[in-house]
Amino acid sequence: MQALLPSAAHCSLFSSSSSSSSSSLRKLLGRQSSCCRTPRTLCCTTERDPQPVRANHAGVKLEESVSGSEKIRIDSWISSRMRGVSRARIQSSIRSGLVAVNDRTVDKVSHVIKGGDKVSCTVCELHPLRAVPEDIPLDIVYEDAHVLVVNKPSDMVVHPAPGNPNGTLVNAILHHCRLPTVACTINSRRSSKTEGCTSDDEIDDFYGDGSLVEESKSENTEALVRPGIVHRLDKGTSGLLVVAKDEHSHAHLAEQFKQHTIHRVYISITSGVPSPSSGRIEIPIARDPNNRIRMIAASGLNSSRDARYAASRYKVLEVFAGGGSALVRWRLETGRTHQIRAHSKYLGTPLLGDEVYGGTKNLALSLLKPRISSSNHSQLSCMISKLQRPCLHALSLRFKHPHTGEYLQFSCPPPHDFSEVWSQLRSVSDPTSNNEMEDEM
């Protein structure tokens, strides 16, 4: 894949700092200029399943008593007992009334069980949302028989939804895998809350199941396919995303997300500069009661029923225009809906171009114009007016291969729109104010 480095601006009076920007990208990417697999293998151990994994778990039953004295969520406990079945599939079974505790049906995934409880579970059939393969180009970074790593463009939704069934990453994956017709599982009740904004969240918040297994469905050999999206990125977020090709891989990758062992690094451009320049944010996130497509991060949410624990680490890499903007690196410890966007807003520095979370064009201009030469004001306005999405990019991804046990690591530079903004902000900044930091968080 061709590396997209900061280039000359469309606004003619901006000068491009291509050489310094290219140097910065190499430092961020560990001196890699394009999407690539880390050449050195970090772990060579191999994991083998003692038993073959079934492609379709519908109808599989579990009947077992809970041991020990600790209390635990029922979806988590069943997932730990049914290896190879995704947690989302278990949650769907619970909501479908196929799980009982002490012979009483339970339909809440958060139901708490304790030692001595007798649990029975039947894995449900999947309830599909129709979708079709589409010939949409994919930027494939890595692929084998079990996983697929793609570089998602900033204008693509990851998963079909009732209001957005076409043109998604899933549609593109289905065409790439040569599958003739699909049915994507989705919980329409929950997806309606986030219609139009696919999010980056852990698997226990995902609305469907996760495999790319073809099954015979009818005489015309239509396929029933569950796209294996393990995690997601917002429509406006570009960068790296891993997809599971089978349910076994999906379950193993989901467990890595649950245990926070998947390493994810993002970069963003903020309106203003976070203070302090580096730190850890441990603030729960819940849905904003006043806006269904927005999340809110606040310490007072600890007692909220819908609040989810969330933790992010950040570091300012470079300051632009005397403090009007900054390049910030993020490392996620959890993966909640809109986590970086909500935590960045909590710091008082929303992402540049993030209209939903306050990173408006007016805010950017009010912070930048007083700090740059008036001769550059019109060019600055031109640059800001072209922003069509939050300046956020999934820069690197590291995970353990679900079948071989090998650690894989990938990095990918930001696309043209992001790198162009970066370059242009540099060009209007006093060079002595740029404060690039190379130390790791």
Chain segment 106-120, per-residue pLDDT in tens: 989 989 999 999 999
Give yes or no for a contact between 421 and 387, defined as CB atoms under 8 angstroms apart: yes
What is the mean pLDDT of the segment spanning 385-411?
96
Q: How far apart are CA 91 and CA 123, in angstroms?
A: 9
What per-residue string of b and e applies to 113-124 under the rule 16 or more CB within 10 Å gives b?
beeebebbbbbb
Amino acid at 79: S
State what percent of residues in the chain have pLDDT above 90: 46
Query: Is 144 annotated in the active site?
Result: no
64-86 pLDDT tens trace? 999 988 899 999 899 888 877 87
What pLDDT digit, counting tens, does each position of 18-45 carry? 455 556 666 666 544 444 444 332 222 2
Instruction: Choose which CATH entry (3.40.1710.10, 3.50.50.60, 3.30.2350.10, 3.40.50.720) describes domain 18-43+258-433.
Output: 3.30.2350.10
Average predicted confidence (pLDDT) for the chain: 77
By CB neighbour count within 10 A (0-12 exposed, 13-18 middle, 19+ buried), where does 145 fall? Answer: exposed
Start-end ranges of CATH 3.10.290.10 in the chain? 61-122
Number of H helices, E strands in the chain: 10, 21
Residue 198 has pLDDT above 70, yes or no: no
The residue annotated as part of the active site, out of 234, 246, 354, 417, is 234
What pLDDT shows up at residue 305?
A: 61
Q: Is the pLDDT of residue 1 over 80?
A: no
61-122 topology per CATH: 3.10.290
Higher pLDDT residue, 13 or 391? 391
pLDDT digits (tens, 9 = 90+) for 135-189: 999 999 999 999 999 999 999 998 776 566 789 898 898 888 765 544 454 443 3
Q: Residue 12: pLDDT above 50?
A: no
**CATH 3.30.2350.10, the chain: domain bounds:** 18-43+258-433
- Highest mean pLDDT: which of 200-209, 257-266, 409-418? 409-418
Q: What is the mean pLDDT of residues 244-273?
A: 92
User: Residue by residue, what is the 3-state secondary structure of 355-384?
Assistant: HHHCCCHHHHHHHHHHHCCHHHHHHHHHHH
